Amino acid sequence: MKVADFIVNCLADYGIGKVFVVSGSANCNLLDAFTRTKKIQYVAMMHEQAAGFAAEGYAKISGKPGVALATSGPGGMNLVTPIGNCFYDSVPCLFITGQVNSGFLRPDPAIRQVGFQEADIVSIVAPITKYAKLILAPQSVKYELQKALTLASSGRPGPTLLDIPMDVQKKEIEPENMAGFEGVSADRSFDLAEVDERIDDYLSDLQGSKRPVLLVGGGVRLAGAVEECRRLSGLLKVPVFPTWNALDTVPSDFDYYGGRIGTYGGPGRNFGIQNSDLLLAMGCRFSGRITGGNVKSFARAARKYAVDIDRALLERKWQQVDIDENIYCDAKVFLEKLIEKSSTRTLPDFSSWLRRVQEWRDKYDPVRQAYYEQNEPTNPYVFIRCLSDLMKKEDIFVGDCGGNIVVSNHAFKTKEGQRYITNNGNSPMGFSFAGALGAWFAATPYSQVVCVIGDGGFNMNIQELQTAKTYGISVKTFIMNNHSYGIIKAYQDTNLGGRYVDSDPASGYAAPDFIRISDAYGIKTFAVRRNDEIEQVVRNVLAYEGPAVCDVDCGGWYDYSPRIFGFGTPIEDMYPYLPRDEFRSNMLIEPWEGWENPEMPTDVSSKKGAME
């Protein structure tokens, strides 16, 4: 058996159904192996970056490692961004690159290059992979492939890479005579007695708490602990807050859903998390998008517990948020133990606190009535809320980055059973279109896959319209077109005096006519120009059998709120600012020292003045 055939068949035996590829001379032998099996198929993408994004989307929906295959040199280097995506969002993916013949590899780093399109991709991606290896010995391929797949999925998941020279791909091997990988992940060596002690401490603190909350991160789903998380919530009956990576783990229709948190807030404007007195965070790394720049003001009255499988995140010397109790454990193991212990205890009644948090959640809805009153152009918040209402419980939402993901995270109400994915850690423009193509291949036949993306992001991978056409991928793509890099304009307003550079048509950025381009690819197109068109057009798009693109004209909208202004602002003090008395009545703890809530600004210039 050839090395290439062994690799492709091993991927199939691992349960991987699709591999996302772009061909080149250095990976042709690997691609040729697909012609000798029916157990697994390749998907021919138009660009390696898109192939990597598709593999990520496939992994997030299927639960299996995603796989992307590229050629040497520029092919492998085009995978760097999706590899970074998977590293920072903890996504299990295997990236395979072809390499020049081993006889043409540079003999020493002092030599810049020998082979045509030679590049040391292993060294390039080493900081953003869990494992990266150049395979020179054909007899090691079984060990290396099994190791790469195991490490990608174990502990805190992430990307791995195998780089395979052309001559090695063609070598004959006897797999039954080759050594396999039998390593056991050290990440599973939890001190369960210590975990039990910390759980007892938490339950003791819970007995004396008045305002406890749960903070749920993306690590809960990665641990396969979604149901356990919901069971625990039902036992404790306390408000639960998802991070942006967990909006489908704790959906908006969940009984104990408390709202959304962070620098862009969302339903509840952060009052629940900021007023808490006991916080249990699971699978959450307390990023700056959660805490804001004033880290010490985050949940400042709460005793804080953190559960994580990444030891480094539990090192006090590296923690920006002061955590009182750090618990090294898999989220599923921890939740099972906490559920067992909670089930045997009489717990306090937190119903009045839960009601208060959910009153904040419902009262401070980011989709304000005023947005419905101006019909033209389309208001993005009104659009996303309507899309949310029309999508079914089994559907999959794939979001991009920048202003459109802020609007989506503010306005989209997730339902139990839905999947809601994006890439939050690396957050590259253009992820969601290619990611949605990958998600579509992993979805059930009953699931509609919807992509929401900005005009800037769609430009980044617009060539994948051909992939959608070639394979009949019936992803429904909505372009939130505000004719600008809206999130950049907002930054330039806040920090650079409104001096726009490369962010709108007047300063160098402009988007093409997406309708005409999509038509040229043979893709069905739709358009929304006003609020009163939204519902019918969305219904038509979702009902269409096949790939479709809808251009949603949002004029020049880029007012993403609620949000905080200023690096030192606590996350409960959000724009649009509340009247002072109302703000103070919502604070059950003392406002941050030196707090002074200005009157609501009426335009961009007064926002800057208020912040100063």
**pLDDT tens profile 321-378:** 999 999 999 999 999 999 999 999 999 999 999 999 999 999 999 999 999 999 999 9
Q: Given this model, what pLDDT does residue 185 score? A: 53
Q: What is the DSSP string of 484-527?
A: S-HHHHHHHHHHSTT--SSSSGGGT-----HHHHHHHTT-EEEE
Percentage of the chain modeled with pLDDT above 90: 94
Q: Given this model, what pLDDT does residue 477 score? A: 98
- Number of Cβ atoms within 10 Å of the Cβ of 131: 18
Give 579-596 pLDDT, tens digit per residue.
989 999 999 998 887 665
pLDDT band at 568 (very low <50, low <70, confident <90, very high): confident
Beta strands in 337-394 (DSSP E): none
When pLDDT is averaged across residues 557-570 and rounded to a whole number, the result is 92
**Average pLDDT over the chain, rounded to an integer:** 94
Sign of the dihedral through C-alpha 601, 581, 578, 286: positive
Q: What are phi and psi of 386, to 5 degrees?
A: -65, -45
3-state secondary structure of 165: strand
Indicate if the pLDDT at residue 479 is higher than 60. yes
Q: Which amino acid is at 140?
A: S
Indicate if the pLDDT at residue 186 is higher than 50. no
When pLDDT is averaged across residues 261-271 and rounded to a whole number, the result is 96
Closest Cα partner for 427 from 393, 390, 399? 399
Tell the residue number behind the tokens 């459109």, with chain if given: 404
Indicate if the pLDDT at residue 604 is higher than 70. no
Q: Which amino acid is at 560?
A: Y
pTM of the full predicted structure? Answer: 0.95
User: For 121-223, where are the alpha helices, taking DSSP H only?
Assistant: 121-125, 141-153, 166-170, 192-208, 219-222
When pLDDT is averaged across residues 556-581 and rounded to a whole number, the result is 93
Q: Given this model, what pLDDT does residue 599 score? A: 39
What are the strands of the beta sheet with 449-454, ordered from one edge? 419-421, 396-399, 449-454, 476-481, 548-553, 524-528
Q: Given this model, what pLDDT does residue 375 score? A: 95
Give 125-177 pLDDT, tens digit per residue.
999 999 999 999 999 999 999 999 999 999 999 999 999 999 999 999 999 99
pLDDT band at 603 (very low <50, low <70, confident <90, very high): very low
Q: Given this model, what pLDDT does residue 26 score? A: 97
Give 419-435 pLDDT, tens digit per residue.
999 999 999 999 999 99
Give 225-247 pLDDT, tens digit per residue.
999 999 999 999 999 999 999 99
Write the secondary structure of 74-100 as one string of H (helix), E (strand) and C (coil): HHHHCCHHHHHHHHHCCCCEEEEEEEC
Contact assessment for residue 485 and residue 430, using Cβ atoms and an 8 Å cutoff: no
Q: Given this model, what pLDDT does residue 566 score? A: 83
3-state secondary structure of 144: helix
Residue scoring higher pLDDT (605 or 246): 246
Q: Could you give all domains of the chain from N- to C-terminal order, each with its CATH number?
A: 3-180 (3.40.50.970), 192-363 (3.40.50.1220), 370-553 (3.40.50.970)
Indicate if the pLDDT at residue 184 is higher than 80. no
